[in-house]
Amino acid sequence: MSGKAKPQRPAPPAGIVVVDKPTGLTSHDVVARCRRFFGTRKVGHAGTLDPDATGVLVVGIERATKLLGHLALTNKSYDATIRLGAATSSDDAEGEIISGASAANIDEADLGAGIAALTGEIMQRPSAVSAIKIAGKRAHERVREGESVEIPARPVTVHRFDILDSTANGEYLDVDVRVDCSSGTYIRALARDLGEALEVGGHLTALRRTRVGNFDLSVARTLDELEGTPTLSVPLHDAVLASFPHRDISAAEAAGLAHGKWLETVGNSGTVAAVDPDGTPIALLVESGRRAASVFLVDPQ
């Protein structure tokens, strides 16, 4: 006699969860926990955070996993602590100290000049222990296998690099900073380069991401909160409406988009949200030639 089939848990609503990631967990660990909390395998994240970093990790639930790639998540903000007086093998506190000199005599003018030189459009050499792939293998994996890795410098933009506080700590100087930057900027590389410019060495001792794109800590939830009450930070429709310019469309055009048709172009650039007369987002559109075609259907039939 066969047992009764276990009733399936209904799929959770689609949307964005902004997680305040704790230290010690990888971004994949956070995704695994969200899968358990929300009862779905359809969970993904944008913008990896290192295990020792805390703060904003943008997670997509259900159909929102496919929205992540369309969101403008290129600008990010961080609060960090830089220790001047020692350089490490990983550019953070996890690595071994490889060089250093006393930072006790660094004055405010020298510190300000060093930070100013690292603000704006700069060429930055990513840390050797980054997740960047070199010939198909991540740089940090090559470093762990004993290889010497040198990643070429690449352009990044540091929009803001402000000193919040500084504290003398023996031969070290601990500097609390706030950074607004483009995607692909390594804060620990800023710490390394600041230390090199001041000729004392530097590394990162704390990192907290406070914003990714339009999502910040004001809507973030801790994993403990999500375990108790697995709720979205931003439902899918709200995320689409808040993240893209709008193009108003008719009910007939909305029905056509839902069935794979395209619309006439109206001169929009970039990705726009097609919104029906009821204010409901139907699709994301991108214009090419004479067509405004859907690149993401919000609620596919």
Burial of 105 (0-12, 13-18, 19+ CB in 10 A): exposed
Q: Which helix (H) or strand (E) holds 33?
A: helix 27-38
**Given the residues 20, 29, 50, 162, the one annotated as active site:** 50
Residues sharing a CB contact under 8 Å with residue 90, sequence separation 6 or more, in sequence order: 127, 128, 129, 188, 203
Comparing C-alpha atoms, which of 68, 74, 76, 164 is closest to residue 115? 164
Our answer to whether residue 278 is catalytic in this structure is no
Q: How far is CA 287 from the centre of its chain?
A: 27
Q: Max alpha carbon distance in the chain (Å)?
A: 82
**End-to-end CA, the chain:** 38
Q: What are the helix and strand counts (H, E) for the chain?
A: 8, 19
- Tell me the catalytic residues: 50
